Amino acid sequence: MRHQQYTMTSLSEYQRLGGHLPDEVGELVREFAAPIYRRPYHTKCIYALFGLLKEYAISWALFNDSILYPSTSSYEGESEHRLRRKQLGEICEDENIDITIDSLVPYLIERNVLVER
């Protein structure tokens, strides 16, 4: 009897449940067992939005350059390449661009990111 009691207490919870975890516990295990390098979904959305903002800033800077310096069409490719190597904040600071929601909304509607009501 004493030996039987010892084996009952030495069973793990997993063994006691017959080798199956409850669904809630299994979901938690899968969530925390995910690789640490996996980015959450909201991070992917933020990076996509930053990509759109960068495209907007680059097109705005190229447009301003074409207005200010219309005779330098061969320089446009070099300018675009230079801008693509920079980060978004650096582009906005160097080109003196103020990206606000009010200035960005028409661009996002044009790109079908936002729907106009």
Residue 41 burial (C-beta neighbours within 10 Å; 0-12, 13-18, 19+): exposed
pLDDT attached to residue 2:
52
Q: Between vectors from CA 66 to CA 63 and to CA 104, what angle results, nearest 5°?
A: 10
Residue type at 6? Y
Kindly list the domain boundaries of the chain, sorted by start residue.
2-33, 41-110
| pLDDT tens sequence for the chain (117 residues) | 455 554 555 777 777 778 788 889 888 888 888 777 767 777 878 888 888 888 888 888 888 777 666 665 556 677 888 888 998 888 888 878 777 767 777 777 777 777 777
pLDDT attached to residue 76:
63
CA distance 19 to 116: 53
